[in-house]
Amino acid sequence: MMSRKRGVFATTLMIALLAGCGGGAHTVPAANRAADALSQSATAGRSASGLRASGTLYYADTSNVYALPLNAKGASTATRTITPHPENQGINTAIATNLDATLDVQQNYFDDTGEHCRVTVEPADANGSPAASDVLCDPTTPGTQGDGVGRNAFGGFDMLYNTPNTFFVSRWANDGATNKNTLTLGPPGYAGLYLATHGGRDYLVNSGGEVRVYRRGATTVDSEVADCTVSAYYGDGPLAVANATTIYLVVRGDQTLGNESIEVISACGTGGAPATVSRTIGPFPNAYISAMAVDNGGALYVALNSLDNASPAYIDVFNNTANGAPAPTRTIAPSPSTTYIRGLTTWEPTASPSPSPAPSATP
């Protein structure tokens, strides 16, 4: 079945393709300038005024990423706007931050050979369209699409993408130029739709509500350390991870986008066994969820879009014990507004916890 992520993207991707066919498409530079750019951006992150004092919440629309203070509340205007590659109208698919505060922007884009994807690593204080480094998902295979990006334990990022035949997780070091390894998923083995990372592990979900967890060195689809399934009609994400025993997964009770809920998985066993769901947040009757993020304090940020795709999207924030249908602790109405938030991520002054073995509930 087609995931809702691909369904929402389809119209926008076609518009971009037609624009590219009109002569406006460009190829992107190779990733050979990544190391220098990341070295410079790490320095920028240390010196950017106020950046390390307050933390940042990033949200993405189709072409741009916007920075807000992490503690934003109510009507909030972005302090910076980042536009990677405005010359060829890339379509944002996911965003993440690295340990050094640099920003990863995953995009699908078109050139004369077809559709491709890339991750652009922007400086920590990026504003506008500064020089940045690119990592291409698969530079040789047209029809490649990005599905997710997340911080890894190498100081860099992991990216989930698919070619016309296979899904992959590619893991990159903190220099932005060294590929540490690649996990080949399938199909027929496993087709991951969304990616979240935590403690050096990759968390994935497919269209059947099957959650799998892989260590950072895993390269084969059958080397997962956890494999569990939710029983919802659709449990196909998005997902976010707070720690080894807190996986947030968006589920639906039927084919509609209304009345989604967020199931909180507290234990994920092996062999596709039922996940242990300790609490449920929702339902959300008047909006649908397109992205989630968790900050270092465990707060959950949820991007909510109107069912008519006409009203401005907003971000609700819930604490780490939210259950049932609680009022959010904060609601953020970001400006510039968008009718669809394509990605959420945070960066905070306190480094993320060091990778540690998961408890026995999640081998």
Query: 319-350: per-residue pLDDT in tens?
Result: 999 999 999 999 999 999 999 999 999 999 86
What CATH architecture applies to the domain 4-347?
6 Propeller (2.120)
List Cβ neighbours of 273 (8 Å cut-off, separation of 6 or more): 227, 228, 229
Rounded distance between C-alpha atoms, residue 311 and residue 309, angstroms: 6
Q: What is the pLDDT of residue 5?
A: 54
Burial class of residue 351 in the structure, from the number of CB atoms within 10 Å of its CB (0-12 exposed, 13-18 middle, 19+ buried): exposed
Q: Could you tell me the two tokens for 26? A: 């460009």
Quick one: which H or E segment has residue 4?
helix 4-19
pLDDT, tens digit, 9 for 90 and up, residues 194-219 = 999 999 999 999 999 999 999 999 99
How many beta carbons lie within 10 A of that of residue 306, not counting itself?
15
Would you call 84 helix, strand, or coil by DSSP? Answer: coil
Residue indicated by tokens 């976010």: 240
List Cβ neighbours of 351 (8 Å cut-off, separation of 6 or more): 99
Cis bond leading into 283, ω under 30°?
yes
pLDDT, tens digit, 9 for 90 and up, residues 102-115 = 999 999 999 989 99
* Lowest-confidence segment of 12-26, 142-156, 309-323, 332-346 by average pLDDT: 12-26
CB 80 within 8 A of CB 126: yes
Beta bridge partners of 159: 149, 170
CB 180 within 8 A of CB 228: no
Q: Where are the domains of the chain?
A: 4-347
pLDDT, tens digit, 9 for 90 and up, residues 263-308 = 999 999 999 999 999 999 999 999 999 999 999 999 999 999 999 9
How many beta carbons lie within 10 A of that of residue 173, not counting itself?
17
pLDDT, tens digit, 9 for 90 and up, residues 243-267 = 878 999 999 988 888 889 999 999 9
Residue 74, phi-psi category: left (phi > 0), alpha (psi -120 to 50), beta (remainder): left
Rounded distance between C-alpha atoms, residue 77 and residue 83, angstroms: 17
- Short-list 279, 303, 304, CA closest to 292: 303
Average pLDDT value for the chain? 85
Rounded distance between C-alpha atoms, residue 161 and residue 147, angstroms: 5
pTM, entire model: 0.85
Quick one: which H or E segment has residue 294?
strand 287-294
* Lowest-confidence segment of 15-24, 89-98, 128-137 by average pLDDT: 15-24
- Rounded to an integer, the average pLDDT of 159-169 is 97
Q: What is the pLDDT of residue 177?
A: 84
